[in-house]
Amino acid sequence: MRIISWNTNGLRATIKQGNFDPLFNKYKPDIVCLQETKAEKEQLPNEVQNYFGYNSYFSHSKTRKGYSGVAIYTRVLPDKVEEGMGVPELDQEGRLLVLYFEKGFTGLKNKVILINGYYPNGGSGPDRLEYKLKFYDAFLKFINKKRKLGYEIIFTGDVNTAHTAIDLARPKANEENTGFLPIERAWIDRVIADDYIDTF
């Protein structure tokens, strides 16, 4: 099972630059998770909306056009697809797609939930940092609740936080910047402490 996760920083720009097809043709992925798509499904060419050989799912921001957004392309047909985590105030920006595979898939015998997330950036002020941390907390509760129901959890995406000093170019210079604040990094520590594996 080959899963690719990629922050496109705008899917329409990625397509225009000729970088969309090569991702599929070169790597032959089973599942592709894209973040920061910045587009609604209807704004994309038909061949991208319905990429040959894949089932495709999209979530876009309900509050701002051309902002955030995630997409999943999968060869394995999910049993159920959901947007968000059931928290209305955190589910309006098109940040999560949740796919349920009740019979699992290659390499995993148990039922599986695959989540693609574009997690909030806390950089535009205290309110957004608070929103980001609230999103983080709600997400961890969400996946832990699903795991207790017997699901294997795979979550991909851009968490908008560098976990350790090796994860960014100038750690010392960024110690007081959002994306590398101790409180943000501590959330990733909590995720790992809950027995999730960071494959990065």
Q: What is the rounded CA–CA span in Å between residue 157 and residue 70? A: 9
Residue matched to tokens 């907390």: 137
CA distance 173 to 75: 42
CA distance 172 to 165: 8
Measured distance CA(64)–CA(66) in Å, rounded: 6
Which of 118, 121, 139, 141 has the alpha carbon at shortest distance from 61?
118
Euclidean distance between CA atoms 190 and 43, whole angstroms: 38
Neighbours of 172 (CB within 10 A): 7
- Exactly one of 158, 189, 194, 195 is catalytic; name it: 158
The secondary structure of residue 39, as a DSSP letter, is S
Distance CA 145, CA 86 (A): 12
Distances from the Cα of 137 to the Cαs of 101, 130, 131, in angstroms? Answer: 24, 11, 10
CA distance 52 to 150: 32
158 assigned to active site = yes
What are the residue numbers of the active site?
A: 158
